[in-house]
Amino acid sequence: MRTRDLSSGFGVVISALCAGLAAAILLLILGYVAREGAGALTWTYLSQIPRPVNVPGGGVANGIVGSFIIIGIAALIAVPIGTLAGIYLALYGRSWFAETTRFLADVLSGVPSIAIGLFAYTVFVAPFKHFSAVSASIAFAVLMLPLIIRTAEESISRVPVRIRESALAWGISSYAATIHIVVPAARSGMITGLLLALARVTGETAPLLFTAFGSQFWELNPTNPMAELSLQVFTYAISPYEDWHRQAWAGALLLIIAVFILNVGARFALRTQTRR
Amino acid sequence: MNASIQALEQRHVRRSLVSDRAFVLFIYLATLLFVATVLGLFAMLLLGSWTSIREFGFSFLWTSEWNPITGRFGALPMIYGTVVSSLTALVLAGIVGVFGAAYLADFAPRFISVPLSFLIELLAAVPSVVFGLWGLFVLAPVLRTVVDPFLQAHFGMVPLFSGPIFGSSLFTAGILLAIMIIPTISAISRDVIAAVIPEHREGSLALGVTRWETMWHVLLPGARSGIFGACILALGRAFGETIATTMVIGNKPAIAASLFAPSYTLASVVANEFTEATTDMYLSALIELGLLLFVVSMIVNAAARVLTWTLLRPSKGR
């Protein structure tokens, strides 16, 4: 009996160490990024564009603005399509077509982003022979869609059927009941999905390599190549220059802050729904 | 008067029906657009890699010459690098993730399991370029100077741990990938372990079976297919991970027996060489690597979905 208790305790301790190890690695990485990044995270870094190679200083302001533009356009594409498809699945989702859509959404969420980047390249870069921020937005929109569709469907399905039925009983058309009553009731769940999708693409780099391509200059026209923060971090990290490595750490810190804010926001939005 | 009201109502009803139908059509079209996009993804990748598929056929998959100058392309070194780095990651992350999930789902008190789960989920949110940066400047030097020599000194007779040691290697990539996929394995495993019928657990504990034995003989077997699904899903993640791998694997299209040698993966070749590809055949071969990743990830995810689905969503049959 005693040895069994002992070995049980041993197993529990090993399990606890494994869980602790995963959390410790996160803290280790966060700590390192914070330590290395905080020093380089100055006002100059946030407000200036990159200097030429070997000229120290400069910043990533163009990349930060580029991230907002690229991700903003991606959201403008993905949110309407994803929400409408989510409504369709939630309200009319019993056909084989809906089942196929669900399946594709689930499976697409695991497709490597680089393959989706190649798709955006073949459709929106190769024909024009010109890299562009819009092509990056389209790749990002495809990355965001599965998450937006499934969270929209889920949160709309959670709205009690009685709410919809009582709206219909008042003589409201099915369309108005959906748009004005059911969808608003599911809003916080859908916001959660949107924030998680934004977090996913904020940390995404691979598709940008051959869509947005990057730029050393101010670029606000989305049909041109554009700088993007995570792409700058990648370029700086693999460069041989000490000053660029410093800037890569600062950029990594910015990315982590942005992604964590989005994740915590997503949790917060979800909590307001469950409390209601 | 009465008749006109009736007419008005009639018209109203008809109009609302029209708007309803228009709305249904509208959301149907949005859904169709999504489905068409996914099919278009496959079609465009197939079209883009057609030149290469026609030239090399299936030999693309098992020849190992990757030579842009002669225009001969074979993906075997990248397939090898992808599979070995991902399997290394899966073994390490599988052990840590499943045991960690066992702790979070059953052993840990709530005040520990809640914040710990939160931290591990945040690990999933860290951008891969940040993992790559950390892997390049922190993990790789530590492995090269401390861990790899230690392993070589003790297990050097195994070919996996022999040969010259490089910081950017299959092993470094495998460990970094393991860190990145732990959250996938532990989050899903935790949920499927927690979803095992509580009577089984209680019955076992009531018989005087210890908590660890209950976990090992009752809960883990009950959650087996879900854990297996989680591992497949994580393997898919590791296959397709691009940026972090590119930064630490060394990017050399060669097959070496040693884990300490530099290598290449399907995704990192595309990331590294795509913008430098000058010939049509070169571009096409790179897009074929993307097609390969797409097809494999579709299969892997479909399998994982089937395995975890039945356990986690039993009520949601539709």
SS (H, E, C) chain A: CHHHHHHHHHHHHHHHHHHHHHHHHHHHHHHHHHHHHHHHCCHHHHHCCECCCCCCCECCHHHHHHHHHHHHHHHHHHHHHHHHHHHHHHHHCCCHHHHHHHHHHHHHCCCCHHHHHHHHHHHHHHHHCCCCHHHHHHHHHHHHHHHHHHHHHHHHHHCCHHHHHHHHHCCCCHHHHHHHHHHHHCHHHHHHHHHHHHHHHHCCCHHHHHCCECCCCCCCCCCCCECCHHHHHHHHHCCCCHHHHHHHHHHHHHHHHHHHHHHHHHHHHHHHHHHC
Highest-scoring range by mean pLDDT, A116-120, A180-184, B12-16, B275-279: A116-120
Distance in Å, alpha carbon of A38 to nearest chain B alpha carbon: 15
Contact A22 B96 (CB under 8 A): yes
List phi, psi (to 5°) of B250. 100, -20
Higher per-residue confidence, A154 vs B318: A154
What pLDDT score was predicted for residue B1?
Answer: 44
Q: Tell me: pLDDT of B102 over 70.
A: yes
Distance in Å, alpha carbon of A163 to nearest chain B alpha carbon: 18
Residue in B27, B35, B293 nearest the CB of A84: B27
Short-list B90, B91, B66, CA closest to B264? B66
Q: What number is the average pLDDT over the span A103-117?
A: 94
Q: Which tens digit of pLDDT belongs to each residue from A23-78? A: 999 999 999 999 999 988 999 999 999 988 878 888 999 999 999 999 999 999 99
Q: Tell me: pLDDT of A217 over 80.
A: yes
Kindly state the percentage of chain B with pLDDT values over 70: 92
Confidence of residue B311 (pLDDT cuts 50, 70, 90): low
Confidence of residue A17 (pLDDT cuts 50, 70, 90): very high
Q: Which tens digit of pLDDT belongs to each residue from B200-258? A: 999 999 998 999 999 999 999 999 989 999 999 999 999 999 999 999 999 989 898 89
Short-list A197, A191, A110, CA closest to A145? A197
ipTM: 0.94
**Opening angle at CA B152, ends B249 and B181, nearest 5:** 40
Say if residue B67 is exposed, middle or buried (CB neighbours under 10 Å; 0-12, 13-18, 19+).
exposed
Q: Tell me: pLDDT of A21 over 90.
A: yes
Average pLDDT of the residues of chain B: 90
Helix (H, G, I), strand (E, B) or coil at B121: helix
Judging contacts by C-beta atoms under 8 Å, the chain A residues touching residue B300 are: 110
What pLDDT score was predicted for residue B17?
Answer: 72
- 8 A C-beta contact, residue A214 and residue A233: no
Confidence of residue B318 (pLDDT cuts 50, 70, 90): very low
Distance in Å, alpha carbon of B154 to nearest chain A alpha carbon: 24
Q: Tell me: pLDDT of B317 over 50.
A: no
Lowest mean pLDDT among A25-29, A124-128, B7-11: B7-11
Q: Tell me: pLDDT of A262 over 60.
A: yes
Contact A112 B297 (CB under 8 A): yes
Pairwise CA distance, residues B181 & B237, whole Å: 7
Distance between the two ends of chain B, CA-based, in angstroms?
50
Contact A112 B125 (CB under 8 A): no
Whether chain A has a CB inside 8 Å of the CB on B247: the answer is: yes
User: What part of B 212-231 touches A (C-beta under 8 Å)?
Assistant: 212-213, 215-216
What pLDDT score was predicted for residue B16?
Answer: 62
Interface with A, mutate which of B8, B41, B205 (most A CBs under 10 A): B41
What token pair was written down for A197?
A: 């999708």
Interface with A, mutate which of B11, B111, B129 (most A CBs under 10 A): B129
Q: What number is the average pLDDT over the span A182-197?
A: 93
Distance in Å, alpha carbon of B250 to nearest chain A alpha carbon: 11
Distance in Å, alpha carbon of B94 to nearest chain A alpha carbon: 11
Kindly state the percentage of chain A with pLDDT values over 70: 98
For residue A239, the chain B residue with the least C-alpha distance is: B247
Judging contacts by C-beta atoms under 8 Å, the chain A residues touching residue B37 are: 142, 145
**H or E element at residue B206:** helix B198-206
Query: Cα dist. B207→A129, B107, B213 in Å?
Result: 71, 18, 11
Q: What number is the average pLDDT over the span B30-51?
A: 96
Short-list A85, A189, A71, A82, CA closest to A139? A71
Say if residue A266 is exposed, middle or buried (CB neighbours under 10 Å; 0-12, 13-18, 19+).
buried
Contact A205 B34 (CB under 8 A): no
List phi, psi (to 5°) of B66. -125, 90
Distance in Å, alpha carbon of A36 to nearest chain B alpha carbon: 10
Residue in B125, B233, B275 nearest the CB of A260: B125
Residue in A12, A94, A142 nearest the CB of B107: A12
What pLDDT score was predicted for residue A171?
Answer: 83
Q: Which tens digit of pLDDT belongs to each residue from B110-145? A: 999 999 999 998 999 999 999 999 999 999 999 999
What global pTM score does this model have?
0.92
Residue matched to tokens 């109009």: B15
Contact B41 A142 (CB under 8 A): yes
What pLDDT score was predicted for residue B7?
Answer: 62
